[in-house]
Amino acid sequence: MHANTNAGAADFPTSLIAGSPHEGFELAIRLSRLGVKAVQPDVEILKRLRPAYASDADSLIASSQVIAIHFQTIAAANDYWSRGGSR
Amino acid sequence: MHANTNAGAADFPTSLIAGSPHEGFELAIRLSRLGVKAVQPDVEILKRLRPAYASDADSLIASSQVIAIHFQTIAAANDYWSRGGSR
Amino acid sequence: MHANTNAGAADFPTSLIAGSPHEGFELAIRLSRLGVKAVQPDVEILKRLRPAYASDADSLIASSQVIAIHFQTIAAANDYWSRGGSR
Amino acid sequence: MHANTNAGAADFPTSLIAGSPHEGFELAIRLSRLGVKAVQPDVEILKRLRPAYASDADSLIASSQVIAIHFQTIAAANDYWSRGGSR
Amino acid sequence: MHANTNAGAADFPTSLIAGSPHEGFELAIRLSRLGVKAVQPDVEILKRLRPAYASDADSLIASSQVIAIHFQTIAAANDYWSRGGSR
Amino acid sequence: MHANTNAGAADFPTSLIAGSPHEGFELAIRLSRLGVKAVQPDVEILKRLRPAYASDADSLIASSQVIAIHFQTIAAANDYWSRGGSR
């Protein structure tokens, strides 16, 4: 894939530290989305694609998988929130 | 994927700690589902999709894979339940 | 995916500790199956799906992948069976 | 997936320790195959499927991915063969 | 897959160390792209493929997943940027 | 998948240690290819498949993913090249 390497600097989190699993999950969702935007930066095209894939079970499961992989990274970064929520 | 970043705060677990592998697996199932809901928050659409994908072997295997990835995270968070069930 | 969160408590292993790689692999197979059952708890539907996907190479490879992910978790839980078979 | 939980005890390696990366890779190949056999134990059906998927690029790439996941597990079990080849 | 083993030496990062999560993500995007170029080094063919897959939701989600896997590696290499940004 | 367990001993790297991220990536590419050859050892068939999948975006992304998984293993084996390039 040819990717736009200047992917959303403004949107990008400055840290992987999250205050709770819920915040970590939100961050995983953002990273998943930023991965898509890196390959297709045209927001209009992304909006046009949305209704179809958001109603397609396999696309939803695949999206959930990308979130799961990023959540794995973020959970590790936060030491699984098991020692007071930060590393 | 454009995702709703306000995904189910009420539903979200406050910790990745689970009392047993079984509870950890339940948590992995919840996280998989929350990933889907982050991309498609409309519960009615999700209900409509359900009969088809829940009867499609490849969708079921893909769902099982997302659960497996989250279970990997949760098992690590709980130190694999090998030293008394908590980290 | 909407998932039944009460997935097979009776069937669920109480520990990820396995006496050998072979037992660990059996456990990985069980977890893969429990992931499928969490999404589709109706055993009759699962039986009906079986002949088709068990004769489809891509479904078999995908199933083998889910087992591989769970085996990764279980092998880590057992410290790879390298120091006498338990952690 | 409904899986045969008595998957090839005779074939199963008794340890994840391998003398070299090459032996570890062979072991990863075996585990990938045992995952398939766990779901479809009928060797005749597997033989019948083989010519088609072994000539399908996407099936080959998917198979290579399952091997890669198992190799990751085995490499970790052998501490990446970096301290004299065993843990 | 037959792959060109002389993949973009000039383009390749000399280190996995990145100053921030954002720089790490950019690096993950580059590695994903270099993986594609290793299999298809002909830039003209890649350019020709781009409009179709960059407008296909499933291809975008799959691309985002490859980025997620590389980001996991890079985040670990940078100790998750949690102790001052370098290991 | 039925796999040839005598996969390219001559081609196989004797170590996962690589002098740089670039060499590690080349090694990941080789391992991905060896995984394919383990399932389809007939080089003529592989050559015949090449033009089609090397011009298919989804096959290229899937190939890039297998490389990413192997690169994760190799990067860990080399301690991410962060302490002087070897473990």
Task: Tell me what ipTM this predicted complex has.
Answer: 0.90
What distance in Å separates the CA atoms of residue F72 and residue F87, rounded to the nearest whole number?
15
From first to last of its 87 residues, chain E has per-residue pLDDT tens of: 444 545 455 678 999 999 999 999 999 999 999 999 999 999 999 999 999 999 999 999 999 999 999 999 999 999 999 854 333
Nearest chain D residue (CA) to E1: D61
Q: Does C71 map to a domain?
A: yes
Asked if the model's pLDDT at residue B3 lies above 80, the reply is: no
Could you identify the residue written with the tokens 């709770």? Answer: A20
Q: Does E2 map to a domain?
A: no
Q: Does A48 map to a domain?
A: yes
Q: Does E15 map to a domain?
A: no
Where in the sequence is the domain holding C69, given as residue range(s)? 21-79
Could you identify the residue written with the tokens 């055993």? Answer: C43
| Subunits adjacent to chain A (3 or more Cβ pairs under 8 Å) | B, C, E, F
Residues A21-34: tens digit of each pLDDT: 999 999 999 999 99
Looking at the structure of chain D, the number of domains it has is: 1
Q: Per the CB < 8 Å rule, is B66 touching A63?
A: no
Phi, psi of C25 (to 5 degrees): -70, -40
Size of interface D-E (CB pairs under 8 A): 4
Three-state SS string over chain A comes to CCCCCCCCCCCCCCCCCCCCHHHHHHHHHHHHHHHHHHHCCCHHHHHHHHHHHCCCHHHHHHHHHHHHHHHHHHHHHCHHHCCCCCC
Supply the mean pLDDT for chain A: 88
From first to last of its 87 residues, chain C has per-residue pLDDT tens of: 444 545 456 678 999 999 999 999 999 999 999 999 999 999 999 999 999 999 999 999 999 999 999 999 999 999 999 854 333
Q: Per the CB < 8 Å rule, is B71 touching C66?
A: no
Residues D18-53: tens digit of each pLDDT: 999 999 999 999 999 999 999 999 999 999 999 999
3-state secondary structure of C86: coil
Nearest-CA distance F56 → chain A (Å) = 11
Instruction: Name chain C contacts of A64, Cβ cutoff 8 Å.
Output: 1
Nearest chain A residue (CA) to F58: A1
Q: How far is CA D3 from CA A19, B55, C73, F3, F19, in A?
A: 40, 17, 19, 20, 43
Nearest chain B residue (CA) to C87: B82
Q: What is the DSSP string of C14-63?
A: S-S--SSHHHHHHHHHHHHHHHHHHH---HHHHHHHHHHHTT-HHHHHHH
What distance in Å separates the CA atoms of residue C17 and residue C13, rounded to the nearest whole number?
9
3-state secondary structure of F32: helix
Nearest-CA distance F57 → chain E (Å) = 6
Q: Does F49 map to a domain?
A: yes
Residue D87: pLDDT band (50, 70, 90) is very low
Instruction: Name chain F contacts of C61, Cβ cutoff 8 Å.
Output: 1
Asked if the model's pLDDT at residue B54 lies above 80, the reply is: yes
Closest by Cα among B77, B66, B70 to B15:
B77
| Subunits adjacent to chain D (3 or more Cβ pairs under 8 Å) | B, C, E, F
Size of interface C-D (CB pairs under 8 A): 120
Contact (Cβ atoms closer than 8 angstroms) between residue C60 and residue C54: yes
Q: Does A10 map to a domain?
A: no
| CB < 8 Å & 24+ apart, contacts of D47-55 | D47/F2, D49/C55, D49/C56, D49/C57, D49/C60, D50/F1, D50/F2, D52/C57, D53/C57, D53/C58, D53/C61, D53/F1, D54/F1, D54/F39, D54/F40, D54/F45, D55/F40, D55/F45, D55/F49
3-state secondary structure of D61: helix
CA atoms within 13 A on the CB side of E5: 12
pLDDT of residue C86: 37
Q: Does D66 map to a domain?
A: yes
Phi, psi of B78 (to 5 degrees): -100, 15
Q: Does F52 map to a domain?
A: yes
Phi, psi of F78 (to 5 degrees): -100, 15
Indicate which of E27, E39, E63, E86 best probes the interface with F, i.e. most F CBs within 10 Å of its own CB: E39
Q: Per the CB < 8 Å rule, is A63 touching B3?
A: yes
Residues F6-61: tens digit of each pLDDT: 545 567 899 999 999 999 999 999 999 999 999 999 999 999 999 999 999 999 99
Nearest-CA distance C21 → chain B (Å) = 16
Nearest-CA distance F35 → chain D (Å) = 4
Nearest-CA distance D67 → chain F (Å) = 6
